[in-house]
Amino acid sequence: MKLLHKILLATDFSKSAEQAMHRAIALAKIFNSEIHVLHVIPSMELSKLSRETIEKGVRVELKNIHDTIKSAGIAVHDIDLQVGIPFLRIIHEADKHDVNVILMGSGEKEATVSRGSFPLGITAEKVLHKASKPVWIVKPESKTKIKRILCPVDFSKPAERAMKNAIHLARRMDAKLQIMHAVSSLMDTYLNFLGGSEEKQTEKIANHAKQLDKFLEKFDFHGVNFEKTVRPGKPHKVILETAAHLDIDLIIMGTSGESDSPKVLMGTNAKYVVRELPCSMVTVKSESVIQPIIDYQISDLESHYKLGIQFLENGMPQEAMEQFRYCVEHDVLFAPAWEGLALSHERLGYKGSAEEYSQKAATIRDRLWQKRVESELRNRHKVTGSGK
């Protein structure tokens, strides 16, 4: 089973693109992924000689990237050189090859840009907003090891997908996960006109903290070092302040794309965060970075059981439950699968059914042990009887 099968590394040979290559290699090592490398030469009017010269130089650069990736022991799926509109070709190739994530550099900061603002390159910005696949933007001079991950949540479906990916990446990268929820409302402006404004704000934060706890109940945090916080303020400002204060290495945010719904982070808030880009960033839309590749041809119970164990180890109790259920449906006396079901349900917060399945497994093991003892006694009796 693979959790992150294919990475599309879109490169323009810039400094941030080089950082993106190193991030792709590090990810591929963790998840045993393969990398597809793509460079798109923008469509432009050139003489035949000029085009050939450019393509020759590009192929040399692509060969260097290929050799670097191969020397790290990573499988290179393909090295692709295309001509066209870069962001359209990148999105097309990502969909065509069904990659898990598009990984690319953020672009270079220009001297004319005001301090604190880090606008993306045109291609990176358009890919970020137009691609349906998850997009991982790498900022120049990013740290080699990701130690701290920030995942802002607003309880929406996109935030739920982002949370799942943040948990998986934090677990596999051994990074600390900071979960953050910002409390903001138009009513905040008018609280001062009401009595007890501070008490009302405190009460409001407390209510949102309860909502956050409820939201997080559906996730499996085993093996993950995490903290959660609820802070008042405009979401994008709170995100940027938190990222700076905690020295965050990676922000993972859910997005619905072009939606401007106030309930979805990538409506306006993520655009503000991207505008300043305090660190590298992953946006998750309709698909997840982590998507298990399963061989559905397997039919033996032992293989399904082992797959269920792998899902549990990777914090995917829902998927594990399906594998264990297959086992008990085909062999009701398969005690380890009942124990797997118990653990899956416990991780999902279903304590009643978890206890029921655990008791089922214990009963089966007791019965099987009794039968084994009875069988051994019968065999001894036969041997003893034949010797008289």
Note the pLDDT tens digit of each residue in 109-130: 554 444 455 668 889 989 988 8
Give residue 182's pLDDT.
92
Question: Which has more pLDDT, 340 or 144?
Answer: 340
SS (HEC) of 326-358 = HHHHHCCCCHHHHHHHHHHHHHCCCHHHHHHHH
State the pLDDT at residue 76: 92
pTM: 0.78
pLDDT in tens, 348-383: 888 899 999 999 889 988 887 776 666 666 666 565
DSSP per residue over 71-92, as a string? Answer: HTT-EEEEEEEEEE-HHHHHHH
The domain spans of the chain are 1-122, 143-293, 301-386
Selection from 331, 298, 324 nearest residue 310 by Cα: 324
User: Tens digits of per-residue pLDDT, 172-213?
Assistant: 999 999 999 998 764 555 555 555 566 777 888 899 999 999
| CATH fold group of domain 143-293 | Rossmann fold (3.40.50)
Q: Which pLDDT tens digit goes with each residue over 274-328?
A: 888 889 999 988 778 877 665 555 568 888 888 889 888 888 888 889 989 989 8
For the chain, what percent of residues have pLDDT higher than 70?
81
311 burial type by CB count under 10 A (0-12 exposed, 13-18 middle, 19+ buried): buried
Q: Give the class (CATH, top level) of 301-386.
A: mainly alpha
Domain 143-293 shares a fold with domain 301-386: no
Q: How far apart, in Å, are the Cα atoms of 20 and each of 211, 334, 345? A: 36, 46, 38
Q: Quote the distance between the C-alpha of residue 156 and its chain's center.
A: 16
* Per-residue pLDDT at 258: 40
Phi, psi of 57, rounded to the nearest 5 degrees: -65, -40
1-122 adopts what CATH topology?
A: Rossmann fold (3.40.50)
pLDDT in tens, 212-242: 999 999 899 988 999 999 998 889 999 999 9
